[in-house]
């Protein structure tokens, strides 16, 4: 493993003023997104949609440091025959790949999940590297519920798998994005999210150390400390920022080059405002940016709605969200910038 090269890629992924586009929706998830805009989820439509994003020249070259792809996409060609991965590289952005194979029920832990996909991962990583992927992603899913959920078993098993994946990535000269997502479903308050996420992060870094993962050669993709969607007690933007930073400072070693947040179902503007407020706090040991899926794509999906004549509108919507989040990654975003663009 060449750690200096891994570190270089990790730093490029979290360049201030840029962030990551999570376009790695599996077939089931992209179908749900397309159902919402009444578009059939065919291979051609998925290709056309993602081609629209990757050909958004301004967004891709100025604001998007890297793109997380799904297996189907990394092997797909654009309409004119150019591999989609080449469009990303030509824009100066780094291609990455989701390598987990989704979740399964965790035995002996009713209602909890474990992420799978370690079998033959070394071979798959080799093929993805040859195709051009320079980073990968694996997402663990932790739910906050009642009756002892999450269990320590679910936290430990998922952290172990994340670390196994990260070690295999680094051996294949691929930067792992380590994503332990604590879901914001439910009615828990911000304090409970803070406590559970802290436990999850502590266990994840414990496992990463045990498995000798080089922290300088990875990127963390966590959730923010935030109240559940159904909670009557929603925290202010400042409280989310302050608590998230406090939590991360307590749990994430300074050797990690960067933290790229997931949006987790927050509205577009909420996710941007939270990232911005955190970067305003400043004086942080790691770079803080975005690795949003929904909060970058909801607007372009709606503007495009599967119609070729809407491609330019879809690209404008994507460029706008990418720019707003790029500003937030430097703490330079303000609400009135959204209004001006509307």
Interface residues with ligand 5MM (CB under 6 A)? 22, 24-26, 29, 68, 139, 181, 262-264, 292-295
Report DSSP state, residue 77: B
The C-alpha atoms of residue 106 and residue 109 are separated, in whole angstroms, by: 6
The C-alpha atoms of residue 55 and residue 323 are separated, in whole angstroms, by: 16
* Tokens 């093929």 belong to residue: 127
Exactly one of 25, 51, 112, 179 is catalytic; which is it? 179
Rank residues 51 and 181 by Cβ distance to ligand 5MM and give the closer one.
181
Counting other chains too, the contacts that 239-248 makes at CB distance below 8 Å and 24 or more residues apart are 239/190, 240/190, 240/274, 240/277, 241/274, 241/277, 241/278, 241/280, 241/281, 242/281, 243/190, 243/194, 244/274, 244/278, 245/278, 245/281, 245/284, 247/194, 247/197, 247/198, 247/201, 248/201, 248/222, 248/286
Rank residues 24 and 112 by Cβ distance to ligand 5MM and give the closer one.
24
The C-alpha atoms of residue 174 and residue 6 are separated, in whole angstroms, by: 7
Rank residues 65 and 263 by Cβ distance to ligand 5MM and give the closer one.
263
**Helix (H) or strand (E) run with residue 259 in it:** strand 258-261
> In this structure, are residues 299 and 268 in contact, taking their beta carbons and an 8 Å threshold?
yes
32 is catalytic: no
Rank residues 85 and 295 by Cβ distance to ligand 5MM and give the closer one.
295
Category of 153 on φ-ψ map: left (φ > 0), alpha (ψ -120 to 50) or beta: alpha
Could you give the angle at which helices 152-171 and 121-131 cross, rounded to 10 degrees?
Answer: 50
Rank residues 22 and 201 by Cβ distance to ligand 5MM and give the closer one.
22
CB 274, min distance to ligand 5MM, A: 12
Report DSSP state, residue 286: S
CB 265, min distance to ligand 5MM, A: 6
CB 212, min distance to ligand 5MM, A: 26
CB 321, min distance to ligand 5MM, A: 11
Which position's Cβ is nearest ligand 5MM? 293
Per-residue H/E/C for 90-138: HCCCEEEEECCCCEEECCCCCCCEEECCCCCHHHHHHHHHHHCCCEEEE
Exactly one of 98, 137, 221, 287 is catalytic; which is it? 221
Rank residues 105 and 340 by Cβ distance to ligand 5MM and give the closer one.
105
CB 150, min distance to ligand 5MM, A: 17
179 is catalytic: yes
| Distances, alpha carbon 244 to alpha carbons 2, 75, 274, 281, in Å | 32, 37, 9, 11
Q: Residue 260: helix, strand or coil by DSSP? A: strand
CB 223, min distance to ligand 5MM, A: 8
CB 65, min distance to ligand 5MM, A: 15
Rank residues 46 and 139 by Cβ distance to ligand 5MM and give the closer one.
139
**Which residues are tagged catalytic?**
179, 221
């Amino acid at each position: 493993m060449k750690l200096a090269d891994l570190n270089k890629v990790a730093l490029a992924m979290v360049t201030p003023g840029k962030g990551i586009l999570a376009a790695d929706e599996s077939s089931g998830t992209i179908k749900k997104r397309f159902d919402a805009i009444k578009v059939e989820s065919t291979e051609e439509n998925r290709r056309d949609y993602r081609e629209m994003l990757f050909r958004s020249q301004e967004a891709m070259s100025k604001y998007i440091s890297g793109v997380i792809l799904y297996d189907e996409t990394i092997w797909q060609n654009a309409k004119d025959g150019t591999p989609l991965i080449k469009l990303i590289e030509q824009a100066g952005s780094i291609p990455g790949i989701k390598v987990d194979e989704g979740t399964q029920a965790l035995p002996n832990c009713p209602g909890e999940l474990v992420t799978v996909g370690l079998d033959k991962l070394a071979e798959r990583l080799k093929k993805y590297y040859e195709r051009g992927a320079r980073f990968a992603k694996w997402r663990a899913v932790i739910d906050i519920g009642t009756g002892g959920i999450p269990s320590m078993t679910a936290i430990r098993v998922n952290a172990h798998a994340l670390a196994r994946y990260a070690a295999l990535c680094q051996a294949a000269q691929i930067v792992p994005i380590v994503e332990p997502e604590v879901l914001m479903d439910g009615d828990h308050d911000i304090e409970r999210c803070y406590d559970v996420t802290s436990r999850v992060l502590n266990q994840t870094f414990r496992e990463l150390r045990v498995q000798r993962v080089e922290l300088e050669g990875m990127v963390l993709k966590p959730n923010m400390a935030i109240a559940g969607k159904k909670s009557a007690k929603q925290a202010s933007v400042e409280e989310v920022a302050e608590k998230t930073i406090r939590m991360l400072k307590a749990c994430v070693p300074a050797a990690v080059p960067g933290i790229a947040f997931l949006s987790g179902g927050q509205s577009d503007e909420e996710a941007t405002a939270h990232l911005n407020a955190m970067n305003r706090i400043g004086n942080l040991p790691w770079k803080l940016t975005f690795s949003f899926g929904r909060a970058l794509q909801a607007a372009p999906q709606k503007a495009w709605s599967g119609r070729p004549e809407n491609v330019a509108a879809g690209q404008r919507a994507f460029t706008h969200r990418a720019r707003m989040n790029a500003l937030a990654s430097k703490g330079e975003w303000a609400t009135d910038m959204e209004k001006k663009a509307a």
